[in-house]
Amino acid sequence: MASGSLTVLGSSGGFPISGFACSGYLARVAGQSLLLDCGPGIAGALIGADAKAGIDGVVISHLHSDHVLDLIPLGYALMTEWLTDGRTEPVPLYLPPGGLEFLQSFSDLFGHRNWRFTEEGRNAGYQALGAALARGQDWLLTVFDAREYEPGEDIAFGTTTIATFPVDHRVRTAAMRLRLGAMDFVYSADTRFLPALGHFAAGTDLFLVDAHFSGPKAPGGLHMTPADAGRLAAIANAKRLVLCHLGAPEDGASARQAAAAHFDGEIHVAFDTREYRL
Q: What is the pLDDT of residues 122-155, one digit of tens each?
A: 899 999 999 999 999 999 999 999 999 999 999 9
pLDDT band at 119 (very low <50, low <70, confident <90, very high): low
- Beta strand extents in 96-221 (DSSP E only): 144-148, 154-157, 160-166, 174-180, 183-187, 206-210
For the chain, count helices (H), then strands (E). 9, 15
At 1 the pLDDT is 44
Q: What is the pLDDT of residues 243-268, one digit of tens each?
A: 999 888 888 899 999 999 999 999 99
Q: What is the pLDDT of residues 76-91, one digit of tens each?
A: 999 999 999 999 999 9
Per-residue pLDDT at 103 exceeds 90: yes
At 235 the pLDDT is 98
Q: What is the pLDDT of residues 35-61, one digit of tens each?
A: 999 999 999 999 987 878 889 999 999
At 18 the pLDDT is 84
pLDDT band at 117 (very low <50, low <70, confident <90, very high): confident
Task: Report the mean per-residue pLDDT for the chain.
Answer: 91
Q: What is the pLDDT of residues 153-201, one digit of tens each?
A: 999 988 889 999 999 998 999 999 998 667 799 999 999 999 999 999 9
Higher pLDDT, 17 or 201: 201
Q: What is the pLDDT of residues 208-236, one digit of tens each?
A: 999 876 665 555 568 899 999 999 999 99
What is the Cα–Cα distance from 269 to 278, expressed in whole angstroms? Answer: 17
CA separation (Å) from 45 to 21, 27, 144, 196, 265? 7, 14, 19, 33, 29
**Residue 50, C-beta contacts closer than 8 angstroms, at least 6 positions apart:** none
Which pTM does this prediction carry?
Answer: 0.94
